[in-house]
Amino acid sequence: MCKAFMTFFYFFICLLQTLLAPFITILGQLHPFTRRRLKFEKRNLTDPACRSFFKDQAKASIAFEISSEGELEQIRPLLIKELRNQQKIELIYCSESVENKCQKIYEEYPHLIRLYRLPLLTFSWISIAHFQHIFKFMTADQLVLCRYDLYPELMLYGLCKTKKFILVSATLKNKKIHLIFFKLLYKYLFNQFDLIVCATKGDENKFKKVLHIEQNKLKVYDFRIVQILHRVENAQSVLDTKIFYPMFQEWFMTVAHHQRIIFGSVWPLEMSMFHNHHFIEKIKHNHFKCVLAPHKLNQDFIMKITQMLPPDLPYYIINKEMDINTCRAIFSNMSEKPGILILTVPAILCELYTNAGNAFVGGGHGRSIHSVLEPYVGMCKIFCGPKTHRSTEFDLIKDYSTNQIHVITNLEDFSRIFMDNYLQEVDIMKRKQLFNEFNDNFETVSDQILSKTAKHV
């Protein structure tokens, strides 16, 4: 009864989308954001990576849907495992921010993977002109959704077309489960999945006790840990390819491990952390070595960061275009006049954390903190802002290493809280035990997700 009702509910919403699609397309031309979105979705019609397996009389073994980069990293270990086993895959993604990474995977496995941009504005049961019907692209009879992208067309496909319907990195964080309406809605919604892999033990308890999801449908596992562990294990070989790194290492390692701090994925507003005379003096006298890795690497963003720094604090910028002589000159200047290093080299922050004893993770004084799991696996003590409501990574660290992550409610208090805690020892053995457990359980959990057994009756 529940399944029939939910199927009808999702079908009705998809029908409504079909009726509204022409009007959405016309009105969408009036706003730059929707114009960009429409252009993004229309690329499905011409991109060779979007050629359905249907057209080649082939069939995918499994389909994954992700929202953006964070979700791609969650499912990447599963994705790569299937591709290395020569299994065909369909990868549906929602955000333009993850497009380049998805395309790179396609370039490596062009015969095994198909990409598809989720048609939020152009979905229609009638596939004419630029309108798109996701059912005509997908062939897989297993569908894995990640986190919170529970769109009606995906839910309908999972209910009607698959033998196995799975949700990974599941969480009830920020969900209004205390209200009876939402509690019932989420109960019916999540009961449609055959397997729910929860992000944390706390999430599993909520699914079980609040939504009354059966225990045999629930697992606890965070695939992101496995992915980060792989990057950390290969950190040295990745960093060694960067021109600046030998000089950086020589500069950074002149102080003890606990005196090194990386400010990762930081925003301009967070620069008020440095507006403390005592902390500035510590930096200027080489007591602390500080590295800033901005969240965005464009020139305007970097300029905003430098403008927010105190005028008496020297800063130095290294980017990916600089040659060895330029880098050498910068580090020489830093030795004579110590300050902070702003590093704008992309895609190495996770690896860099392995060199530091402390990390401040940005975003927590804006919308939400960025990845705290990367510095945690990199063996740092962690400092972050109060916006942790969307982060299951924060919950996991709090569960296992309560005293190793510190919330900075007011940025002006950073230097005081940091000075009180930077000498604290990192719980290396405890973390290694946790990481070994995740490594040991990966094959079991991934096999359960990727196996071709039929759904629960």
Cβ atoms 199, 391 nearer than 8 A: no
> What's the confidence (pLDDT) of residue 181?
86
Exposure class string for 58-93: b at 16+ Cβ within 10 A, else e: eebbbbbbbbbbbbbbbbbbbbbbbbeeebbbbbbb
Give the C-alpha separation, 360 to 407, whole Å: 10
| 3-class SS of residue 170 | strand
Place 1 in a pLDDT band, splitting at 50, 70 and 90: low
Determine if residue 265 is left, alpha or beta; phi over 0 gives left, psi from -120 to 50 gives alpha, anything else beta: left
Give the C-alpha separation, 215 to 194, whole Å: 11
Nearest to 441 by CA among 222, 199, 145: 222
pTM for this predicted structure: 0.90
Q: Helix 69-84 crosses helix 99-108 at what angle (to 10 degrees)?
A: 10
pLDDT (tens digit, 9 = 90+) per residue, 184-235? 888 988 999 999 999 999 999 999 999 999 999 999 999 999 999 999 999 9
| 3-class SS of residue 322 | coil
| Angle, CA of 131, 132 and 135, to the nearest 5° | 155
One of 3.40.50.2000, 3.40.50.10490, 3.40.50.2300, 3.30.70.260 is the CATH number of 230-432, namely 3.40.50.2000
User: Residues 6 or more apart from 219 whose CB is under 8 A from it?
Assistant: 195, 196, 197, 198, 204, 445, 448
The DSSP string of 229-279 is: HHHHHTHHHHHTTSTTHHHHHHHHTTS-GGGEEEEEEE-GGGGGGG--HHH
For residue 139, the tally of other CB atoms under 10 A from its CB is 19
User: Residues 6 or more apart from 277 whose CB is under 8 A from it?
Assistant: none
- Measured over the CA atoms of residue 389, residue 390, residue 395 and residue 398, the dihedral's sign is negative
Q: Which residues pair with 384 in a beta bridge?
A: 361, 407
Place 453 in a pLDDT band, splitting at 50, 70 and 90: low
pLDDT (tens digit, 9 = 90+) per residue, 98-138? 999 999 999 999 999 999 999 999 999 888 878 998 899 99
User: Residues 6 or more apart from 318 whose CB is under 8 A from it?
Assistant: 244, 248, 327, 330, 341, 342, 343, 344, 345
For residue 432, the tally of other CB atoms under 10 A from its CB is 11
Cβ atoms 79, 223 nearer than 8 A: no
Nearest to 90 by CA among 101, 100, 105: 105
Q: Do domains 2-170 and 230-432 have the same CATH topology?
A: yes
Cβ atoms 158, 165 nearer than 8 A: yes
Q: Which residues pair with 318 in a beta bridge?
A: 343
Helix and strand element counts for the chain (H, E): 18, 14
pLDDT (tens digit, 9 = 90+) per residue, 344-394? 999 999 999 999 999 999 999 999 999 999 999 999 999 999 999 889 999
| Parallel/antiparallel/unpaired status of strands 315-318 and 260-266 | unpaired
Q: Per-residue pLDDT for 456 more than 70?
A: no
Domain boundaries, the chain: 2-170, 230-432
Identify the CATH number of the domain defined by range 2-170.
3.40.50
